[in-house]
Chains A and B, each alone.
Chain A
């Protein structure tokens, strides 16, 4: 029983912690971020298992974790509101070549990082960027002006 409660508590804590520190931590990791993510399991492992090294305890812990992951995905699938709470929402960093300072500062992304991603997408100037979006998994998606113009979809409307 204690293991179930401990895994539940640590899972919610890590989930909340990762949501708080932001999307960037999921993507390409800086050395600082890598060390942070490597240290988390080291710190919590004792709290999860205490001194019970039995296979039974490990199976209970892992299956509890899997069940929590599954339950989280079901909750996110069932409700748009919960999906936003759990996964977060994408942030627009650049629109039609205009850098959105508030979003960049909120997400702690520099214009240089956006341009780095833009160059990887074959774009050399900011005015060639139609959308630069920080996705919920931490990646920066770049939509070039040319591509959307040539694609014929000039409207920023959903297409069913």
Chain B
């Protein structure tokens, strides 16, 4: 039986990869993106601040890094750890919220002014929790910062929130 015909073969060479310095830099830069993404540096990330104000325990969860046009919630959770009912009002800087689009509020805001969006949580019975949730869809690139203020019985507590929106 005849062996399968083979055309003339190319000569063998010692195989190794030669990369000029410029290409090494280029490949390094290209590699940077997947590496940073794999490390989570280019993805959405959430931060949290927790503090007690009198008998109210307040926790603010917010996106500290967000990709353009992706969404993440801003959550304000208030728990009354005391023995008396407490009234609470939450105000969030409007400037900060304007960096986002398609915000949906739960519950509906009590009022929206030039400077803030205000939520009246009413009286929180002892041991109970009230929550304000805002879905944020990143719209403006770069660092966005603002304040979340909680007011209860004339005492005001302030939380700084800062979100970096990746393009």
By a beta-carbon cutoff of 8 Å, the part of chain A in contact with chain B is: 1, 3-4, 51-57, 59-60, 63-64, 66-67, 70, 74, 77-80, 90, 92, 95-96, 100, 131, 133, 143, 153, 155-160
Q: How many A-B residue pairs have CB under 8 A?
A: 85
> Which of B8, B10, B37 lies at the interface centre, i.e. has the most chain A CB atoms within 10 A of its CB?
B37
Q: Do B6 and A158 touch across chains, with their CB atoms under 8 A apart?
A: no
Interface residues of B in 64-117 (CB under 8 A from A): 67-70
By a beta-carbon cutoff of 8 Å, the part of chain B in contact with chain A is: 4-11, 15-17, 27, 30-34, 36-40, 42-43, 67-70, 166-167
With A63-B30, A157-B8, A158-B9 already in contact, the answer to whether A56 and B17 are too (CB < 8 A) is no
Q: Do B15 and A67 touch across chains, with their CB atoms under 8 A apart?
A: no
CB of B31, distance to nearest CB on chain A (Å): 6
Residues on B with C-beta less than 8 A from A57 are: 67
Chain B, residue nearest A53 (CB): B69
Q: Do A56 and B67 touch across chains, with their CB atoms under 8 A apart?
A: yes
Q: Do B68 and A54 touch across chains, with their CB atoms under 8 A apart?
A: yes
Residues on B with C-beta less than 8 A from A159 are: 8, 11
Instruction: Give Cα A160 to B167, complex, Å.
Output: 54
Instruction: Give Cα A143 to B69, complex, Å.
Output: 57
Instruction: Give Cα A3 to B36, complex, Å.
Output: 12
Instruction: Give Cα A80 to B167, complex, Å.
Output: 42
Partner of B17, one of A78, A95, A153: A78
Q: Do B5 and A77 touch across chains, with their CB atoms under 8 A apart?
A: no
Q: Do B6 and A156 touch across chains, with their CB atoms under 8 A apart?
A: yes
CB of B43, distance to nearest CB on chain A (Å): 7
